[in-house]
Amino acid sequence: MTGTAEIPNPPWRRPRKESRRRPLSQGLIVDTAMRILDADGLDALSMRRVAQELRTGPASLYAHVANKGELLELMIDRVVGEIEVPDPEPERWQEQIVQAARGVHRACTRHRGIARAALANIPIGPNSLRFAEAVLAILRAGGVPDRSAAWFLDRLSLYVLADAFEAYVHDERGRRTEEDAQHHLSQIGAYYASLPPDRFPNITSMAAPLISGDGDDRLAFGVELMIRGLVSYRDR
């Protein structure tokens, strides 16, 4: 009768250690890259750094991600997936566009420097396409002509991403909170007010308005300014 008991290893052989490493996947690589981004910023991100975090070699990543450019595209799409866009309401289309823009800005400022990578990115990922489709639907519901809607989506994205990137630059320079930014701006305001009024009459008399409002106020102002211009194309 053949026994079924497992034969033990000889005592001079070391027992095999079970690997606790998760198998590599595209999702795991993106998860790891996002953690690096959030902790240390965009400049710290590289394929080598991601491989080190996963305790593997960079070459093993390329079976799942072609290069750093593709990794950034996947990360951008992951961030866009955090943005909620409402269903179109024709009577509220302008308010909904402002809401969508704020959603983009919040998502980008949560992830340090992703806005810089997204500035030259054309939306091709599933989340990015979903977002673009939703915004275009709102614009069409508001009666905006197709070409104006398409170009506005491009310009709106550029404006909001640039604003989010500026917030990242402030963060990198140590102005990480609104209070830090306001302290910096108050110094700028005091400098403006101290300029010779005969040479800079407008700057000195408008020192307070020039530094007034927080980042969200100015973001909304810029988006509303663009929408007012867009309305003129709709009404032609």
| Comparison of pLDDT for 92 and 171, the residue scoring more | 92
Question: What is the structure's pLDDT at 101?
Answer: 96
26-65 placed in CATH 1.10.10.60: yes
d(CA 156, CA 226): 8
How far is the C-alpha of 81 from the C-alpha of 133, rounded, in Å?
Answer: 13
Residues 215-224 have a mean pLDDT of 93
User: Which among 230, 195, 216 has a CA at the least distance from the CA of 104?
Assistant: 216
Neighbour-count burial for 32-69, b at 16+ CB within 10 Å, e otherwise: bbbebbeeebbeebebeebbeebeeeeeebeebbeebe
pTM: 0.83
The pLDDT score that the predictor gives to residue 132 is 96
What class is the 79-234 domain?
A: mainly alpha
Residue whose C-alpha is closest to residue 148's, from 137, 157, 139, 161: 139
The DSSP code for 67 is: S
Q: Do domains 26-65 and 79-234 have the same CATH topology?
A: no
Which of 233, 236, 88 lies closest to 147, judged by CA? 233
pLDDT in tens, 7-57: 666 666 565 555 455 689 999 999 999 999 999 999 999 999 999 999 999
Domain borders along the chain are 26-65, 79-234
